[in-house]
Structure 1
Amino acid sequence: MFPLLSASITISLAVAGYWLLKKINFPAPSIMGPMMFIGIYQALGGGLPDLSMTTVNIFQLIIGLSLGARINHQRLADLRRVLRPSLVIAVWTLLSTLGMTFLLLQFTPNIATALFSAAPGGISEMTVVALAYDTEVPMVSTYQFVRLVVIISVVPIIARWLKRRTPTAQRVAMKEEQNQTLVTGDAEPIEQVEIGLGTKLLLYSLGIMGGLLLLVLGFPGGGVIGAMTTLALTNIVLKKQYQFPSSVLQLALLGIGMSIGLEFSPEVVRTIQEMLLPIIGFSLLIVLSNFVVGWYLHHLTHWDIITCLLSSAPGGLNQMLAVSEEMKADTLTISILQLVRLLIIITCIPIIAVMFI
C-alpha cells in the first residue's frame, strides 16, 4: 500500500472514530475512537503500517508536558494538607498493582503486559508508556478501557446510594471539616498571574529537553517521565501556573489511539476474546478494592463518602473530575489524590517493569 494512501486511511478512520464516539458520549473518545475503528480495519486484514517510534516518542513528550503542566507550587502546597490520605492512595496503588499483576500472570505469560494492564494509570497514560516496552498494547488498552467503563458506570451509582443513606446534618459536618482541612496550613495565598506565550514556550522547551534526555539515556518511559518531571520542577521553582493547550493534547491522544489500533491483528482479537471474562472479572475486583479504600479514607478523614470513593477510584484523572463535578463532590480534594495516584503509577511502574522484565 502506498504511504500516502495508508496515511489517509489511518487519519480518516481515526477522525471518524473520534467523531462518532464523542457524539454518543463514549468514555475517552480521543483514544477509543481511533483505536476501535483502526483496530477493526486491521483485524479484517487492513495491513496498515505501524507508526514510527519517533512519532510515538513525540506523543509521549506531549502527554508528559500535559501532566507536568498540572503540577505547580499550589498543588504542592495542597498536597501537604492531605498528606495522610495521599500516603494511603500511594501505598494502595502500588500494592494493588502488584497484586493484580500476579493474578493476571495466570492468564498471560507476558510480565510487561500484565503489569501495565494492572496499573490503574488511565488509558492514555498507560498505553503510551506500554508502547515503549515489549507488550501486547491492545490487551493493555482493553484492560484499561474495561476498568474505566466499569468504574464510571458503577462507582457513581454506589456513591449516590450511600449519599442518600447519610443524614443531612452529618454530610454538612463532614463538608465543613473537609473544607477546614484544605484551607488551613502554612501556605500563603498565591496570586495567580497569566504568563505570556513566550514564557510558556520556554517552559515547554525545557520539558521537551528533559524528555529527550531520558529517551536518549534509555530510561523507562523516558519521554513521559522526563517531560513531566522537568516541567513540574520548573513550575514549582518559578511558581508558574497555566493550562496546557487542549488542542495539542487532543492531537496527541488521537495519535496514541491510532498507534494502538495499528497494533491490532486477527491473532490479537482472538486473544482478547479468550481473555474477555478475566478482564471483566479483574475490573470488578478492582472496583471492590476501591470501595474498601474509599471507606478507609472516609473513616480516616471524616470526609463525605462520595469524595472518598471518587478520590480512590482508579479511573482516569479527567474522567473522575468530570464525575465529581456532576455529583457536586469536592473536586479539589479529588484532583489532588487522583494526581498522586497518577504520579505514583507513571514514575514507579516503568522502574518496576525494568526490574522484572
Structure 2
Amino acid sequence: NLLPWFPSVDFSLPTLLNLIGQILLGLTIGEYWGISPKLRKGAIVHALIPVLLTFLTGVMAAGLAMLLTSWDWLTCLLVTAPGGSPEMIWIALGLDRDVEIVTAGHLVRLIAINISLPILVSLAGSLDHHRTNPQDSRRSCNQPP
C-alpha cells in the first residue's frame, strides 16, 4: 500500500491450492502410518510432552510480554510464539493484527538466536571437553603459576 505504482497484493490462496495442500499433507501422514502402522500409547505420550512444554512456554512468554507492553493478548502470543516466523506473520495478516510488531518481534528473536549460537556451541564444546577429559582440567588447576 505504500507504493502507489505497485498493485494491491491479496494474501489469500485460491481454494484449489488449499485443497491440494491438504491432500498432500494427508498423503504424507498416511504414508508414514503405512510404513509404521503400530502407534503405541507410550509413543503418543512421549510425542505430546515436548508439544505441551513448547505450548506452555509460548503462553508464559506471551503473558510476560503482555505485562511489559501495551499489546493485546493475541499480538503478544504471535510475537512470542515458538513457531516459524512466516507462519506467525501470515496469521497476523489473516487476523488483522499488528503485522509490523509481530515481524519485528520475530526478527529480534532470530537475531538473538544467531548471535548467541556461536557462544552456546563454544560453551557446549568446552563442557564436553571437560567431561571427557577430567584429568586435563585438574592438572591445569594444580600447576604452579
Q: Which TM-score band applies after superposition, normalised by the shorter structure?
A: 0.5 to 0.7
- For residues 97-112 of structure 1, the aligned pairs below 5 Å read 97-106=58-67, 107-112=69-74
Higher relative contact order (CA 8 A, sep 6+): 1
* Matching residue of 1:96: 57
% same residue = 22
The ranges of structure 1 where at least 4 consecutive aligned residues each deviate by more than 4 angstroms after the TM superposition are 79-85, 167-170
* Matching residue of 1:287: none
TM-score, normalised with respect to structure 1: 0.28
Stretches of structure 2 that go unaligned for 5 or more consecutive residues are 133-145
- Summarize deviations over 1:230-261 as a string: whole Å, max 9, x none: xxxxxxxxxxxxxxxxxxxxxxxxxxxxxxxx
Distance in 1 between the 2:64 and 2:131 partners?
43
The answer as to whether partners of 1:101 and 1:115 remain within 8 angstroms in 2 is yes
Three-state SS of the structure 1 residue aligned to 2:123 is helix
Q: Mark the CA change 1:83 to 1:117 in structure 2 (over 3 Å): closer, same or farther.
A: same
After superposition, the CA RMSD in angstroms is 4.0
Distance in 1 between the 2:98 and 2:63 partners?
17
* Matching residue of 2:83: 121
* Matching residue of 1:135: 97
Deviation at 1:156, TM superposition (A): 4.4
Q: Mark the CA change 1:93 to 1:146 in structure 2 (over 3 Å): closer, same or farther.
A: same
Distance in 2 between the 1:165 and 1:101 partners?
32
TM-score, normalised with respect to structure 2: 0.61
Deviation at 1:168, TM superposition (A): 9.7
Distance in 2 between the 1:91 and 1:160 partners?
30
The answer as to whether partners of 1:120 and 1:144 remain within 8 angstroms in 2 is no
Distance in 2 between the 1:102 and 1:157 partners?
28
Q: Mark the CA change 1:90 to 1:166 in structure 2 (over 3 Å): closer, same or farther.
A: same
Please tell me whether Structure 1 or Structure 2 has the larger radius of gyration of its CA atoms.
2
- Summarize deviations over 1:163-189 as a string: whole Å, max 9, x none: 34215996xxxxxxxxxxxxxxxxxxx
* Matching residue of 1:58: 13
Q: Mark the CA change 1:69 to 1:152 in structure 2 (over 3 Å): closer, same or farther.
A: farther
Distance in 2 between the 1:150 and 1:85 partners?
29
Deviation at 1:132, TM superposition (A): 1.2
* Partner AA of 2:12 in structure 1: N
Are 2:119 and 1:150 equivalent residues in the alignment? no
* Partner AA of 1:162 in structure 2: A
- Summarize deviations over 1:48-79 as a string: whole Å, max 9, x none: xx53xxx21129x67x93994995434895x9
- For residues 229-308 of structure 1, the aligned pairs below 5 Å read none
* Matching residue of 1:25: none
Distance in 2 between the 1:83 and 1:153 partners?
35
Distance in 2 between the 1:160 and 1:86 partners?
30
